[in-house]
Amino acid sequence: MAGWNVSRGKVIHIGFPRVGDRRILDPAFAIPASVGVSHISYLSPLLAVVVGIVHAGLAPVIVVGGVKPNIVLVAMVLVTCLGGFLPGITWAFAAGLTANLLVGEPLGAIPLTLLVVAAMVAAGGRLLGGLIWIYPVAAAFVGSIVADVGSLLVSQLVADVVAGTPPVGLLLAAATFNAAIMALLLYPARAFAQRHASEEAPAW
């Protein structure tokens, strides 16, 4: 289907998606144009701070199979997959710093590891972002391992202790737990993004 507009004697063709167009049928194009474009709304940093507070309050008391959820990591990976690199690193810094100030981790450890993971997730999204229901879960799994190993290394550097072998079993269990949380949150997060993202005015 096409539209035509006549202006000053010139015919201007205006194209519209045809029925059956991939942009209509493919779920990857179901999110409004503002989602996936690297801009940040005024609400986004505030939500990141709230998630950091929730992480500090809930993560220490929720234990499943001997591991705790990394709420800020899951939220940051989700935002990066849906919004892109700039929103991802904003959440990594704002949520990570907030959580770091409220828990006993070495200062800067959480935002530093989250920034590394955000960069990895954004880079991987350029290659695998089309796997919209698989990539975020896989990114949460791998990102959890990277973040936990990074936190262990930072803790060992700050505490000046001899580096030991990372607890592989716990790392994998925590990564699986975080990936499961991502799988549960992915559909409602995408639905929320489709409905509200285009209504948020970008702050920058």
Residue 2 covered by a domain: no
Residue 14 covered by a domain: no
How many domains would you assign to the chain? 1
Alpha helices in 16-108 (DSSP H): 22-25, 43-58, 71-83, 85-102
**How does pLDDT run across 157-166, given as a tens digit for each residue?**
876 655 566 6
**How does pLDDT run across 86-121, given as a tens digit for each residue?**
999 999 999 999 999 999 888 889 999 999 999 999
Longest Cα–Cα distance of the chain, Å, equals: 79
Residue 31 covered by a domain: no
Residue 133 covered by a domain: yes
pLDDT value of position 30: 38
Residue 70 covered by a domain: yes
Q: Contact at 8 Å (CB) between 121 and 88?
A: yes
Q: What Å distances lie between residue 149 and 57, 75, 93, 139, CA to CA?
A: 22, 19, 18, 15
CATH of the domain at 155: 1.10.1760
Domain of 178 in residue numbering reads as 40-199
Distance CA 132, CA 116 (A): 21
Q: Contact at 8 Å (CB) between 73 and 178?
A: yes
pLDDT value of position 24: 35
- Does the pTM surpass 0.85? The reply is no
Residue 63 covered by a domain: yes
pLDDT value of position 134: 96
Residue 27 covered by a domain: no
Residue 32 covered by a domain: no
DSSP letters for 149-193: HHHHHHHHHHHT-------HHHHHHHHHHHHHHHHHHHHHHHHHH
